[in-house]
């Protein structure tokens, strides 16, 4: 399979590996959005969150607090973003991954979507809520 993260997992492509267990590896993102920007990746190839089952999701997320705390101790960031992109507009590697992005005072990483807040009327929230619940 022509997947860059599978190649990293198989050791065909080098990476700066931070952590590895039976189910996941974590390595530095080649493009450091901020210092310590890390990717947590399941060893099993799944395209994105839609393809994950509960077991794999729990196994992958299990390692996140440990790595987050290592980043915190290592670099003393003011905060940390945990981000996962699925399909458009941001997913560029079709192998599920979680970004851990330590945040620093005056860093240049922008979570611009947090500014797109919309205040709904009560019945609009109800409609949205019901639509989601009906699809669980
Ligand atoms: P996405 O946009 O899919 O959420 O994130 C994919 C990430 O993978 C990007 O931040 C990109 O820099 C990173 N990436 C792409 N190719 C490589 C690679 O060969 N090695 C490493 N370490 N990171 C990569
Ligand atoms: Zn893969």
Give the domain ranges of the chain.
4-107
Rounded Cα distance between 34 and 116, Å, is: 23
Distance 80 CA to ligand 1 centre (A): 18
Q: What is the mean pLDDT of residues 11-18?
A: 97
Q: How confident is the model at residue 113 (pLDDT cuts 50, 70, 90)?
A: low
In this prediction, residue 116 carries a pLDDT of: 63
Mutate to test the pocket of ligand 1, among 29, 98, 101, 113 (most ligand atoms within 8 A of CB): 29
Rounded Cα distance between 38 and 118, Å, is: 31
Q: 64-76: per-residue pLDDT in tens? A: 999 999 999 999 9
Q: What angle do CA 29, 33, 36 make, to 5 degrees?
A: 60
Question: Which CATH architecture group holds 4-107?
Answer: 2-Layer Sandwich (3.30)
Q: How confident is the model at residue 118 (pLDDT cuts 50, 70, 90)?
A: confident
Rounded Cα distance between 15 and 112, Å, is: 29
**By the 8 A CB rule, do 16 and 27 touch?**
yes
Pocket lining: 30 vs ligand 1, CB cutoff 6 Å = yes
The token duo for 13 is: 């492509």
Q: What is the mean pLDDT of residues 96-115?
A: 89
Q: How confident is the model at residue 58 (pLDDT cuts 50, 70, 90)?
A: very high
Whether the pLDDT of residue 131 is over 90: the answer is yes
In this prediction, residue 119 carries a pLDDT of: 80
Rounded Cα distance between 77 and 11, Å, is: 30
Q: What is the mean pLDDT of residues 93-105?
A: 98
In this prediction, residue 111 carries a pLDDT of: 81
């Amino acid at each position: 399979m022509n997947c860059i993260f599978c190649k990293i997992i198989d050791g065909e492509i080098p990476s700066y590996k931070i952590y590895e267990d039976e189910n996941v590896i974590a390595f530095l993102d080649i493009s450091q959005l901020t210092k310590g920007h890390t990717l947590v990746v399941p060893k099993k190839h799944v395209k994105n969150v839609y393809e994950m089952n509960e077991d794999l999701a729990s196994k992958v997320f299990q390692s996140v607090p440990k790595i987050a705390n290592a980043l915190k101790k290592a670099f003393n960031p003011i905060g940390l973003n945990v981000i996962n992109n699925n399909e458009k507009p941001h997913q560029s590697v079709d192998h599920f991954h979680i970004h851990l992005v330590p945040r620093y005072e005056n860093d240049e990483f922008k979570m611009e979507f947090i500014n797109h807040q919309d205040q709904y009327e009560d019945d609009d929230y109800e409609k949205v809520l019901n639509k989601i619940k009906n699809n669980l």
